[in-house]
Structure 1
Amino acid sequence: MNSHNFNNKYIIGISFISALGGYLFGFDFAVISGALPFLKIQFHLDAWWEGFLTGSLALGCIVGCLIAGKLADRYGRRPGLMLSAIVFAISSLGMAFSSGLSVFVMMRFAAGIGVGMASMLSPMYIAEISPAQIRGRNVAINQLTIVIGILITNLVNYLLADKGTDVWRWMFGLGAVPSLLFLTGVLWLPESPRWLLKAGKKQQAASVLQKIGSAAFVEDTISDINQSFEGSKPQSYAAVFGKAVRPAVVVGITLAVFQQLCGINVVFNYTSTIFESVGANLNRQLFETVAIGVVNLLFTLLAMWQVDKLGRRPLMLIGSIGLSVIYLVLAFLLQNHYSPAVISIFVLLAISIYATSLAPVTWVLISEIFPNSIRGVASSMAIVSLWGAYFILVFTFPILAKKLGAYGPFYLYAGICLLGFVFVLRRVKETKGQTLEELEHNLIKH
């Protein structure tokens, strides 16, 4: 299929607009690490509440994913993206104007609904409009915008940090700006051709595909998609456990859970806590969040360049074993109170390895490995599992750190990464360069 000509500018344009959902996800994810030192004072948080307030985003994400799966299958990908933008805007302002802890946690939960919807719909939409040869790179655009969201948010937090005790309200309220940009962009997006064909709108699907590639590409894609729908029943959660698709579902869910329990998001969300444990002041703690954002961005760009060349499997293997080793070193350094500068080196190393491997590749695989007939439902299950694992991770960290010291949990994460390495080695097949329909055929054949 390499002979087709594609309208690359158009494909990248619509991928970037859809991926603005990722930017909002990055914002909500990162804003907490700069705001926590202020929120602890404002709301007198203990370890339990610190974990719950941070993790409440993930509980909202779970609800968002469940809503998005159903919405996307019934009304299309586009309305779901619009709704997530609106939820984002309202919840950002809601957090900024919170009068007390319970209102704040409810608004953070609502923000999670928006994040959950976007975390599912943006990569799914991009995978569905992208030709096979560039699908990995395009889905990774979503990861890129998440990372840009994290970096810009960390920078803004750093610059705002000395503006008084109420500055956390500005940190959250500013999220309304990218939300409105995203909403404006989505109005311009076409609907996914795969959804249009499924809804019986062949003419509309063909006109969207014509903007993407040549006439031959349109014809091939329509016939491939239609073949994959033949004999497929309506999506239900029961269908996800069917014997033919079970291997893909097990791999998707396990990778999603592993991407979170590998422990890296503790570094993102609790940068302040980790560096505080070795005596770094608030300015240094917030500076570290910016350094993390910069490294995260640079290595995500590297991953986008490599994901369709090196392949998914080698990147996952390098990532899991690399993190395991770095965590052991990091735990040792934290335990023995090395200087923040030395710890910073290993924190940034961990971020760089994660950003090139588990971060983008997990999302690429989740958007690829499920058959067309169950993609919506199976993706939502995998991503619900991902957010469940994220909640467990960020909720337990302050409690574990209090009992074991900030270094203790890293020994645990090193072990989880080792198990992840073994799983990828045994169960994950390479998917680069194949169309979604070819993948489905190969998967069900094995």
Structure 2
Amino acid sequence: MQADDKSPAGGSATAGPQGNGHGVVILVTAAAALGGFLFGFDTAVINGAVDAIQAEFHMSSGLLGFVVSAALLGCAVGAWFAGPIANRTGRLRVMLIAAVLFAASAIGSALAVGPIDLTIWRILGGLAVGAASVIAPAYIAEISPAHLRGRLGSLQQLAIVTGIFVALLVNYVLAAAAGGASESVPWGGTAWRWMFAVELLPALLYGVLALRIPESPRYLVQKQRVTEAREVLRRFVGGDVDQRIREITRSLGEGTQAIRLADLRGPRLGLLPIVWVGLLLSVFQQFVGINVIFYYSTTLWRSVGFTEENALLITVITSVTNILTTIVAIALVDRIGRKPLLVAGATGMLVTLVTLAWCFSTATGSGDDVTLGPVIGKVALVAANLYVVSFGVSWGPVVWVLLGEMFNNRIRATALAVAAAAQWVANWLVSTSFPVLADVGLAFAYGLYAGCAALALVFVLRMVRETKGRELEDM
């Protein structure tokens, strides 16, 4: 049926979705973004357990860095394969698989008996994180109206930082109840093991919600399930539904064929230029060192004089800061655009990372005995939180928004898989290398991240295109 421009059902080309309006769209995208919550929880929960795991399993700094970052190897693999699998079996099927992997990882990590099996369970959880990191932004971008897509896409990052906050809060509560992450909680079991076990609850909720939300209209059109796609578009996107169906079909080209990695080939070192932009956005998002704050901050603040409980509390406060700045980004991303936020964020990170490098250049001692002066320690604490603000209002949410919308329909899921895999490899490199870099000197480590922030700023100014307000079919 051709939608009439004045009909309530079809609406005009700019009409909103039917039914409960934008509230329904927000609920559906929030359910998808729960994968982002698990993404944040799973990657941050290791923070409070790092010292306890190292002590219990008698690990060196090098082995500790590998175990902490092992999940990221799984993330890269999960992200790499999630796109092609999503194109064959659907976005929702990938969400269900991820939910099962999250649950298995939570239970296995909590019952680990040594670094080997803990590494295996963390890699399994990483597979789920990688899949969620690809499928959530793709799904949200494909089911959102254009004028809301930036804000709804930012829900992914809000979910990630909320997951980080909850993980760190759980770590703090459990460590406080037990008197330390290595001690037993009153109801039995070591605190660090319960830190991992808690993830089982949101994993189960993710699986339940994935059974109740609609499939992506673009996947449905690709599989020639046009009637279902039309109904999803009418309920959640609005506008001239039949025109959107035609646009999706045209942009998919041979959309009934499974998308192949070969479709990303192009003239720039073997890849399409837009794919390189996505790859470099992903890499720079990690090379500025943000996950050092979320994986190692408890250890870092203990090394400069804070108690374990106070270090965990500071980490929780930092994660709250990250949530607040992400909310600010959601309010701004569709108003001032993606590129201005990235430029401002890179500038802020450059300044704060240089400040951190200077602070730690004044430190005395080395390794686990680093000490900052009382004034310099406060400056470092403020700079670290301003760094999180700069990242949280820009590169955190905006990169995910861009990755969800910068690729055309024909290559989106596959290009997202490649870009997200690159992001996880970069994350692994940063996380694995940090303990070694910290042994060399924290000033050197933060100086290196500052250099990456400078390169990221130049890259955005020269290579990134604005996508605010554009339909996906026009990308």
Q: TM-score, normalised by structure 1?
A: 0.95
How far did residue 234 of structure 1 move? 4.5
* Unpaired stretches in structure 1, ≥5 consecutive residues: 440-446
State the match for 2:463 in structure 1.
Answer: 427
Partner Cα distance (1:72, 1:247) in 2 = 24
Once residues 281 and 198 of structure 1 are traced to their aligned partners in structure 2, the CA distance between those partners, rounded to angstroms, is: 56
Task: Report the residue type matching 1:194 in the other structure.
Answer: R
Query: Which residue number corresponds to residue 222 of structure 1?
Result: 245
Alignment match, 1:127:
141
Q: Which residue of 2 aligns with 1:444?
A: none
May I ask how many residue pairs the two structures share in their alignment?
437
Residues 70-85 of structure 1 aligned to structure 2 (within 5 Å): 70-85=84-99
Post-superposition offset of 1:69:
1.4
Aligned residue in 2 for 1:3: 14
Offset from partner CA, 1:201-224 (integer Å, 9 cap, x none): 10111111121144x431222121
Give the alignment's Cα RMSD to 1 decimal.
1.5
Residue in structure 1 matched with residue 335 of structure 2 by the alignment: 309
- Match of residue 265, structure 2, among 241, 244, 247: 241
Distance between the aligned counterparts of 1:407 and 1:158, measured in 2? Answer: 28
Q: Report the equivalent of 1:20.
A: 34
Provide Cα deviations, 1:154-190, integer angstroms capped at 9, x if missing partner: 1111111131522100000010000001111111011
Query: Does the residue aligned with 2:261 lie in a helix, a strand or coil?
Result: coil
User: Quick check: 1:282 aligned with 2:308?
Assistant: yes
Q: Tell me which of 417, 429, 433 is aligned to 1:396.
A: 433
Q: Is the 8 A contact 1:261 1:393 kept in 2?
A: yes
Aligned match for 1:196, one of 181, 201, 220: 220
* CA distance in 1: counterparts of 2:215 and 2:467, whole angstroms: 25
User: 2:105·2:125 contact (CA, 8 Å) conserved in 1?
Assistant: yes
SS of 1:179's equivalent in the other structure is helix
| Alignment partners' CA distance in 2, 1:101 and 1:188 | 38
- 1:175 matched to 2:212? The reply is no
Uncovered stretches (5+) of structure 2, i.e. residues with no partner: 1-11, 183-189, 363-371
Instruction: Return the index of the structure with the highest Cα Rg.
Output: 2
The one-letter amino acid paired with 2:156 is: N
- 1:251 matched to 2:277? The reply is yes
Who is 1:417 aligned against? Answer: 453
Asked if structure 1 preserves the Cα contact closer than 8 Å seen for 2:84 and 2:259, the reply is no
The amino acid that maps onto 1:406 is L
Percent identity, please: 39
Q: Is the 8 A contact 1:82 1:186 kept in 2?
A: yes
Match of 1:346 in 2: 383
Whole-angstrom distance in 2 between the partners of 1:285 and 1:389: 26
What SS is found at the alignment partner of 2:240? helix
Distance 2:421 2:297 in 1: 25
Q: 1:221 and 1:432 mapped to 2: Cα distance?
A: 19
| Residue 348 (structure 2) aligned to one of 318, 322, 346 | 322
Partners in 2 of 1:406 and 1:308 — Cα distance?
A: 37
Give the direction of change, closer, same or farther, for the CA distance of 1:419–1:281 in structure 2 (3 Å limit).
Answer: same
Report the structure, 1 or 2, having the larger helix content: 1
CA drift at 1:2: 6.5
Q: Deviations over 1:99-131 (max 9, x none)?
A: 111111100010100100111101110000001
Q: Which amino acid aligns with 1:29?
A: T
**8 Å CA contact retained: 1:323, 1:414:** yes
Deviation of residue 277 (structure 1)? 2.9
**Pairing 1:61-72 to 2, within 5 Å after superposition:** 61-72=75-86
**Amino acid of the structure 2 residue aligned with 1:363:** W
Which one of the candidate residues 443, 454, 464 is aligned to 1:407?
A: 443
1:282/1:2 CA distance change after superposition, 3 Å: farther
Contact 2:234–2:241 (Cα < 8 Å) also in 1: yes
1:438 corresponds to which residue?
474
* Corresponding position of 1:207: 231
In the TM superposition, 1:349-388 aligns within 5 A as: 349-388=386-425
Q: Deviations over 1:318-363 (max 9, x none)?
A: 1112111111111111222233433221111000110000000111
Whether the 8 Å contact between 2:408 and 2:474 is mirrored in structure 1 is no
Counterpart of 2:411 in structure 1: which amino acid?
A: I
Q: Secondary structure at the match of 2:411?
A: helix
Letter in 2 for 1:435: E
3-state SS of 1:238 partner:
helix
Which whole-Å CA distance do the structure 2 matches of 1:197 and 1:127 have between them? 15
**TM-score, normalising length: structure 2:** 0.89
2:118 is matched with 104
The one-letter code of the counterpart of 1:402 is D
Q: CA deviation at 1:230?
A: 2.8
The separation in 2 between residues aligned to 1:167 and 1:286, in whole angstroms, is 13
Instruction: Report the Cα distance in structure 1 between the residues aligned to 2:360 and 2:445, rounded to whole angstroms.
Output: 11
State the shift of 1:231 in Å: 5.2
Q: Which moved more, 1:134-143 or 1:236-245?
A: 236-245
Single out whichever of 261-270 and 382-391 deviates more from structure 2: 261-270
Conservation of the 8 A alpha-carbon contact between 1:85 and 1:179: yes
Residues 341 and 398, structure 2, Cα contact 8 Å, conserved in 1: yes
Judge conservation of contact 1:2–1:133 (CA < 8 Å) in 2. Answer: no
